[in-house]
Amino acid sequence: MMQVTPMERRCSFKRQNSAIDDMREEVKPIKRQDSNNSFRRPTVTADELWNLLQRHMASPLPECETIFPWLHGYSTTAPPDYPNSISIVRSQPMPDNWIQNSGVLKCSMDPQEFLLSWATLGDVRLGDDKSVVRDIIIRELARCRITLELQDMEDAISSCFEYGVLPFLNTDGRARNIYSMTRKVGNSHQQSLAGFTWKQPGSFRRFDIQPAKMLEMSSQIVVYCFHSISAHSNTKGHCSRCYRLSTVLDLALKFIQSNYSHNSERKPKISILQYKSLEDIPRDLMGTPPMTMDSLNKSSPIQLVSPFDLVSFNNWDRDLLYREKLEVSKMSSATPVEKSLSCWCGNSTDYQVYKLLLSDAKSSDLFVRDRLAYYSTQNSIVRVPKLNCDTNNPKVADSKLFNIPCTPRPWALMIRCLEKVSPPSLEKIMASLGTLLGSPNPSLIELNFPSSGTITLGSLNINSIEIILNLCYVLYQLGSLTDYGSLIYCSDGYTETTFLLVAYLIFLWDLSLEDTLLKLHLKYERPFFLFPVDLQVLSHLQSLLKQFSPKRPENYHFYRNRERAVLEPLEVTPEMFSKIFLFCVPPDLDFSTLKGPLPSRILSHLYLGSLEHAQSPKLLKKMGINYIVSVGEDLSWAGPMNSRHRASSSPTPRKLEALRKDPAKKPSRVRGLTVTGECSSSVDTLDENPRSIEVFEQEGFKILRITNLGDNGKDSLTNQLEHILAFIDECYRTNGKVLVHCMVGVSRSATVCIAECMKRLECSVLRAYLFVRVRRLNIIIQPNLMFMYELLKWQESQGKERAIDWPIICRSISELNNNYI
């Protein structure tokens, strides 16, 4: 369908005025008598709503073959049956002097999350002309042959005006085609309704439209608010905002039902919550209770968490971005990167907390003494239970949500790495060292340094190399000649800092780039991420950095000369500079093609990476990885699929477990094992290609490989998941390490890792998703809709309750992605 320009739209509205006037005659100007009548919408009590929600959460989700491909895109057919399904909608935030993100029931959604945005109209701005929305409603009423009371239409217009929305669900492709000035919704491209097919790539990750999908499926919708409690307590009155929104919902559902290829008998019941006071609301139904602005206050200047922060943290239905920041803060919190404990690497939270606690002499009793690995299940908010606000000891929650820096050496030098800054001058660097050496109690010195990925070979000259070299020199001398330490930090604790950190460690340890990265990863267990340009620059700089290393005997006396009051800077000669560019990186040590460049460590035994990582068996062996799960991809060094000896049987995971426990039952010299049967015979309506699982050993690796599994929105992982997890469990029990990979390491393999984390952490889909997402360093995992849905169904099959509903999970993922994409 041809897109309409703003001018054409205005002309079109003008030409159709006469027709619209005729349509208005069909709108009955009947005045409502709300004060004399009961609700024109049915009501439910808070207890009834809680019972309805419990029934909904206990009811199984529709099966994958039933719900897909319907979930993939705009709705042209009626939704599948979903008994006991319910949607809860908040009509408005809290009034002034209350926290807007409070007053939220469990599993509830806001109008902007499922209704088409007013911005869809492009040139028309909210408040310019309500007649635009009025004309749209009249036109759609006539098209659908719906009569509407005049007051109801005015209510719908007011509600659309208030929320900045149009009376259409985000899943209404017809409305978007007609009224949209943009071709994009949320973080995924729109499909044209006329030529829509679920196979279009943008359909596979339409997390943004799932709240609207849930409304289409629901048998009951309940609208509520806490803005005006008294309006909900009188059965002969009504909350005007809740009522107006219910009218918009009713219209939006009728409009989209008119798009269905077959008539739908589904008529969801739209009700309004009735209650007398907040005490009527069951405690378990309340996600975040209404809270005043005073709840943001803290009991002391050095307290990190407010009462609202605690209550908000307990409600995992909302604000996953806040939790992501907390998880990153814990995962990448400050750790020492050399044995003298003088140089540390951390994140901005470490910097802020450290400076905050410097003002409190008693804060040392809060220091966390045990430094946990970034992949530790204990070093996470995912397993933190609900927190209570302890008024007697409010700081207890701080240590639950943050890793408080523990520094045996006070940090006297703080180096912040960030984008768009120039490196400090050589004079400033040396002056900082002079200040730190010359004062018994020096003030904190802060420097900025360019982030990783910003220094290129073309930008290198003698001066810039001397700055890098002498910053390493200052870091070392501060630790060796004083009792003070330093902190290198950035916002997430690893992305921007890694270039400077690795340069310093090459200098300090006198090791090659490859050996430095492996030591940093295996011994110091520090998360890091290097861009290809960083690898290129460091590959050439490493020979110079090693030449000046304090590890070398010829340099020992120079670095230990304490008699020099002001140490002179290290000097790079033109000859040294020239040799940098003559250095050629051996092909087998070239990391520039690898992203990161190492696979991401998710758990002690679990790595997530790409096909490029899996194609580097030498690197994997050095990392101690001896198991590989190839999800839908072939390894060139492991040979083509089906080229190996196969077992004659097709064992289930239970039989595989029996074989492991009793080796005597294993057939002799069986090097390969192909699992078919239930894997290849259970093919849903979307799945066209049967697949098999092959298990074999080669070059010291035990490999599980799955065929014909693409990231295409139709291939299912469900039937393979138990086999894969049994294979990973064997690795876990033998103290091995396993790399799970697909092509890029963001969808198929990430889904497997989420399932493994759900199992090991005994947590829900959303919590495991966050755990994996944060540890897939600097890469956004993107399992497609079907994979995420399968994980939720798998959780259900394990007998775990669905604490967070499908549309809430999708909304959270969409909000996170919109922050980056």
Which positions are annotated as active-site residues?
Answer: 742
Report d(CA 778, CA 355) in Å as an integer.
Answer: 27
- Over the range 727-752, which residues count as b (16 or more CB within 10 Å of their CB) and which as e? bbbbbbeeebbbbbbbbbbbbbbbbb
Angle of helix 150-163 relative to helix 130-144, nearest 10 degrees, comes to 130
Report d(CA 281, CA 102) in Å as an integer.
Answer: 14
Helix H or strand E segment including 414:
strand 411-418
Please give the sequence-ordered ranges of beta strands (E in DSSP) within 155-233, or none if there are none: 165-169, 184-185, 188-189, 220-224
Q: What is the phi/psi pair of residue 600, to 5°?
A: -85, 130
Instruction: List, in sequence order, every residue forming a beta bridge with 165; answer none if it has no partner.
Output: 117
Pick the closest to residue 80 from 93, 96, 67, 91 (CA basis).
67
Please report the sign of the dihedral spanned by the C-alpha atoms of residue 88, residue 91, residue 97, residue 100: positive
Both tokens assigned to 429? 């660097």
Q: What is the phi/psi pair of residue 139, to 5°?
A: -60, -45
Both tokens assigned to 558? 């120079």
Report d(CA 737, CA 732) in Å as an integer.
Answer: 7
H helix count then E strand count, the chain = 29, 23
Both tokens assigned to 679? 């894997």
Task: Tell me the DSSP string of 495-525.
Answer: TTTHHHHHHHHHHHHT--HHHHHHHHHHTS-
Report d(CA 383, CA 369) in Å as an integer.
Answer: 20
**Contact yes or no for 323/770 (Cβ under 8 A):** yes
Helix H or strand E segment including 674:
strand 672-675
Q: Give the amino acid at 525.
A: E
Pick the closest to residue 246 from 220, 274, 218, 222 (CA basis).
222
Report d(CA 335, CA 374) in Å as an integer.
Answer: 10
Report d(CA 818, CA 821) in Å as an integer.
Answer: 5
DSSP 292: B
Find tokens 């027709």 and name the residue. Answer: 19
